[in-house]
Chains A and B, each alone.
Chain A
Amino acid sequence: MAKPKLNLLERLYLPEILRGLLITTRHHFANLTVHILHRVGLAKGKRGAVTFQYPEDPRPVARRLRARHRLMKRPDGSTRCVACMMCETICPAHCIYIVADEHPDPRIEKRPKSFDIDLGICVMCGYCVEACPEDAIRMDTYITETSSFTREGMLLTLDDLMNHHNEDNFPKHTSS
């Protein structure tokens, strides 16, 4: 790529720095003025720059947001998942790892012995939710803070997916 030719003023360095500072300062005072006027009920038509005080003030999220997964439960508290591997098969990121096992209840065929989702790989596409024939996996926890200091910390196990501290916040609608 060709390097842009600088004129003398630009090559002198300091005038350009000052010009930049001027732009920042102008924005600062313009916003300060607009926000003060908003406080006293004036200049409603003018918009000032917006800053969210995250994480103290959580961002509002859309109702349909695809967030961290959870596994649904049967009335007796066991998982609804039947380990059919549809989600594992459809997953474009290959981040779901299921190991199937015999279910102790003779009326139910299969259950997952382990069900791991690697959030470090997950692309949050929601195909797993679409593919599930049992409505056993959903992405409606609204948990968006899923960082970890280790790769292992990003791995959700069956236990993580079934038990949540904020279960009261989840949508209450049940499946058909």
Chain B
Amino acid sequence: MDKFTVTINGHTIEAKPGQSVLQTALDNGIHIPHYCFHPGLPVAGNCRMCLVEIEGVPKLQIACGTTVRDGMVVWSNNDRVRQAVRHVLEFLLINHPVDCPVCDQAGECGLQDYYMLVGRYDSRFAENKVVKHKKATPIGRWVMLDQERCILCSRCVRFTREITKTNEMAIFNRGDHAEIDVFPGGELRNRYSANIVDICPVGALTCRDFRFRCRVWYLKQAPSICPGCARGCNIAIHFNPERPHHAGGRRVLRFKPRPNPHVNAFWLCDDGRYSYPFIDDHRLRFAALREEGGVRQLYLKDALDRLADWLRASRSGRTAYLLSADSSNEELFAARKLLRDALGVRCLLPDTGLRTGDADDFLICEDKHPNTRGARILFGLGENDPVAPDRLEAGLGAELPELLLVNRADLPSPLRDKLLAAGTRLVFLGTNDNATAAAAHLVVPLVVFAEQAGTFTNFEGRVQKFELAVPPLGDAAPEWSVHQGLAERLGIDLAFPGPAAIFRQLTAEVDAFRGLSHESLTPHGAMIRHE
């Protein structure tokens, strides 16, 4: 028998054999309170919050540890269950300091949520609370531990045991002296350590980077894709749109993982999670032109006029474009239509993000760009691409180009000096300041992925969609609109109303993407057709 039915709170639901009652309920939109259960971790059954009544069983059972049976009748909302759960919560909160005003978890805390859902009692605890080590202590590069707030659900311990298999954490002592900690003298030494902050249902494990930056209820979220490596982990960008005085004016304050069973399950590596500052730091906001006597800031439209003149004046075959694997599929497609197809510009993918040996067997990839696969497909790149930085000069051809457009990459300084000495006009299209931008004759500011909508293709060929989170800074424009502006000035027909239309055209013209649509990319992305 593959499937059978159970009845939860009067709703008859189809269930898979072997699944727990709790998972079945959650999958069908029935929320049963729980702390220690996490769909990505083995069941522990120690918090007792998910007690449910099962008809025919005299005592209340934990929904996370009970497997569904055919014809099972489960109640999670009757008075007997509610009262039991309220008492469980009361016990969990006995030694909790209730320091919500200074706790970073406040606003996304399981204790607060379930107190409002099933608690709402007045404290009856007249004895003195057991006070543990008073202040929070760092237990790793990214994680802060406050033992007083812990409810001993052991999610973090199970995470280090089962997911990272590094076993840094354990529960020490017994009874009301029990506490979680890292082993004496140790610290969290895995590259996924900040996930225990996400899975901690209370404020015991908080993020050191986010500490006191912002209250969580100020944050808004946008679904996105992590740009940190070729894996394309699903993330939510948390940004603070209304109160710029927090966090020194940074708009984006953190990345949190979004579950996607095909890519990252529930997790995100620390490198990707803490790569967010580039969205706000050292950004190029306005176009700049290097002239005799210095650098002059100019409007984007004037910069595009200038660049269009240069493209027109440059002899064919003597213009080159270094494309970027940080660009979205839509941006790459616009560059392909204009530069490769219409103007015949030589297009190369410089390989600036490969960190050989950095990959592991879980999420982290060697290639530190989110869309190398997309760039390879759209520009038909072969085995020799991406081009390593030391082979870039050879890749540019026998003669150095007259006009070189560099997208985001920082050129190796010997090559940069050689190009400038040879009289090459260097145009930098990019998001963040670097040495190449400082040396370029013309700088065109681009928006980062968080400031536009688009799609990335991860290393396996899964196309995933990301949404706009924050508005562009200054004059910065999406790369496709820069190409479109150039096409207009050069008299080339390239009309795009926006990224969604580009994606439609892309799926119509490029074989690998044929059949995809924004609808098919929701919610977990979709695979390209294999060549």
Residues of A at under 8 Å CB distance from B? 82-86, 88-89, 94, 97, 99-102, 106-107, 109-110, 133-134
Contact = CB atoms under 8 A, between A and B. Distances in A.
A82 B134 contact: no
Given A89-B217, A106-B135, A100 B212 contact: yes
27 contacts: A82-B102, A83-B102, A83-B212, A84-B102, A85-B215, A86-B101, A89-B215, A89-B217, A89-B218, A94-B242, A94-B243, A97-B243, A99-B245, A99-B246, A100-B212, A100-B213, A101-B212, A102-B211, A102-B212, A109-B99, A109-B102, A109-B135, A109-B136, A110-B102, A110-B212, A133-B101, A134-B101
B245 A97 contact: yes
Contacts of B136: 109
A89 B242 CA distance: 11
Nearest to A97: B245
Contacts of A88: 243
A84 B134 CA distance: 18
Q: Is the interface of B mostly helix, strand, loop or mixed?
A: loop
Given A84-B101, A97-B245, A106 B212 contact: no
Contacts of B211: 102
A133 B98 CA distance: 12
Nearest to A102: B212
Nearest to A100: B212
B99 to A, nearest CB: 7
A88 B212 CA distance: 14
Contacts of A109: 99, 102, 135-136
Contacts of B243: 88, 94, 97
Nearest to A107: B134
A82 B101 contact: yes
Nearest to B106: A84
A106 B134 CA distance: 8
Contacts of A89: 215, 217-218
Interface size band for B: 10 to 19
Count chain B CB atoms within 10 A of each CB in A88, A100, A106 and give the residue with the most: A100
A99 B101 CA distance: 14
Which of B134, B212, B242, B243 has its CB near the most chain A CB atoms (within 10 A)? B212
Interface string B397-422: 00000000000000000000000000
Contacts of B246: 99
Nearest to A84: B101
Contacts of A100: 212-213
Contacts of B215: 85, 89
A15 to B, nearest CB: 60
A97 B242 CA distance: 11
Nearest to B245: A97
A107 B135 contact: yes
A113 to B, nearest CB: 9
A94 B102 CA distance: 20
Contacts of A82: 101-102
A129 to B, nearest CB: 15
A82 B135 CA distance: 14
Nearest to B242: A94
A133 B99 CA distance: 10
Contacts of A83: 102, 212
Nearest to B217: A89
Nearest to B133: A106
Given A89-B217, A110-B212, A134-B101, 20 more contacts: A82-B101, A84-B101, A84-B102, A86-B101, A88-B243, A89-B215, A89-B218, A97-B245, A99-B246, A100-B212, A100-B213, A106-B134, A106-B135, A107-B134, A109-B99, A109-B102, A109-B135, A109-B136, A110-B102, A133-B101
Interface in B370-397: none
B253 to A, nearest CB: 13
A50 B416 CA distance: 83
A106 B99 CA distance: 15
Contacts of A107: 134-135
Interface string B186-226: 00000000000000000000000001110101100000000
Nearest to B211: A102
B301 to A, nearest CB: 34
Contacts of A110: 102, 212
Nearest to A82: B102
Contacts of A85: 215
B247 to A, nearest CB: 9
Nearest to B136: A109
Contacts of B135: 106-107, 109
Contacts of A84: 101-102
B16 to A, nearest CB: 43
A20 to B, nearest CB: 52
A110 to B, nearest CB: 5
A105 to B, nearest CB: 9
Contacts of B102: 82-84, 109-110
A79 to B, nearest CB: 14
Interface string B340-356: 00000000000000000
A29 B134 CA distance: 75
Contacts of B212: 83, 100-102, 110
Contacts of B217: 89
B101 to A, nearest CB: 3
Nearest to A114: B245
A82 B106 CA distance: 14
Most buried by B among A85, A86, A94, A101: A85
Nearest to A106: B135
Nearest to A132: B101
Contacts of A97: 243, 245
Contacts of B242: 94
Nearest to A101: B212
A84 B242 CA distance: 17
B502 to A, nearest CB: 38
Nearest to A131: B101
A125 to B, nearest CB: 19
A85 to B, nearest CB: 5
A168 to B, nearest CB: 31
Contacts of B218: 89
Contacts of A102: 211-212
